């Protein structure tokens, strides 16, 4: 799991936070060479999201009484950011899920999406990226999305200066666990290589990146799902004037 810190932050603010596994498309799968073709993964991920929502809203689910089906957001990192952004609009062969009321993409890999597909997204969208991300650069992903998500109101983007692609993941904490017995060699190597490109200067330290991400995501969801309008001011351009550079943009 790549975003435990964010799941915990959301749960601490009263959200039911659920992280589905995506067989054939996890860090472990990639390290062991067990991945699926990308198009298949994109479609399967979208189906996974709807299957999870079906399960959570089923009367037999133990947490069903806690689930607000009118306050559903989908959040994803990297390729999962593509999944989250398109959950409300659908993909070829996979229908839109009308239960999704907001989308959040962390370093979202949305550059492959055609303009007409992005234009179908009609729920509030938050995109967060790293200014030093070589894998999923701000342009043409977040910058392009900001311009093409024309039916999404509002669209908010936040770019963290000095953050790289995996600044939004748990890789720095995972690096500290590499001495644990039983970790496959291929996975150990993948974590070590990724950590060395993430966890030390000149990149933004992961603790700060996580804190900024938590604050932005919780504020956005409180605003758009719970109607707490004061949180909109927290996400207004120019409001994060101290500490690490955060560039905010918003379109109503």
Question: Up-side HSE of residue 240: CA atoms within 13 Å toward CB?
Answer: 20
Residue 1 has pLDDT above 60, yes or no: no
The predicted-structure confidence for 62-110, as pLDDT tens digits, reads as follows 999 999 999 999 999 998 999 999 999 999 989 999 999 999 999 999 9
User: Sorting pLDDT into bands at 50, 70 and 90, what band is 239?
Assistant: confident
Please report which confidence band the pLDDT of residue 244 belongs to, taking 50, 70 and 90 as the band edges.
confident
Number of domains in the chain: 1
Identify the domain containing residue 137 by its residue range. Answer: 4-251
Phi and psi for 148 in degrees, rounded to 5?
Answer: -100, -15
Whole-number Å distance between alpha carbons of 208 and 210: 5
* Angle between helix 38-56 and 79-86 (nearest 10): 50
For 158-169, the DSSP string reads EEETT--GGGGS
Residue 125's CATH number: 3.40.50.1820
User: Beta strands 246-251 and 100-106: pairing type?
Assistant: unpaired
Task: Give residue-wise pLDDT tens across range 23-47.
Answer: 656 665 565 565 666 656 767 788 8
State the pLDDT at residue 72: 98
């Amino acid at each position: 799991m790549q975003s435990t810190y964010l799941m915990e932050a959301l749960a601490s603010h009263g959200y039911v936070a659920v992280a589905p596994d995506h067989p054939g498309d996890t860090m472990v799968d990639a390290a062991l060479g067990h991945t699926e073709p990308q198009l298949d993964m994109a479609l399967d991920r979208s189906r996974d999201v709807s299957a999870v929502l079906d399960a959570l809203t089923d009367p037999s689910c133990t947490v069903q009484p806690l689930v607000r089906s009118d306050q559903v957001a989908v959040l994803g990192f990297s390729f999962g950011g593509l999944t989250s952004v398109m959950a409300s609009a659908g993909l070829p062969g996979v229908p839109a899920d009308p239960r999704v009321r907001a989308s959040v993409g962390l370093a979202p890999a949305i550059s492959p999406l055609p303009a007409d597909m992005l234009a179908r997204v009609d729920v509030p969208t938050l995109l967060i990226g790293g200014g030093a991300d070589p894998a999923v650069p701000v342009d043409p992903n977040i910058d392009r999305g900001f311009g093409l998500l024309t039916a999404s109101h509002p669209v908010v983007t936040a770019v963290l200066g000095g953050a790289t692609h995996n600044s939004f993941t748990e890789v720095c904490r995972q690096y500290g666990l590499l001495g644990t017995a039983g970790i496959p060699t291929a996975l150990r190597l993948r974590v070590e290589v990724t950590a060395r490109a993430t966890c030390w200067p000149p990149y933004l330290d992961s603790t700060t990146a996580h804190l900024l991400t938590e604050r932005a995501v919780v504020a956005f969801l409180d605003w758009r799902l719970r109607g707490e309008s004061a949180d909109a001011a927290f996400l207004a351009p120019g409001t994060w004037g101290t500490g690490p550079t955060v560039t905010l943009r918003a379109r109503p």
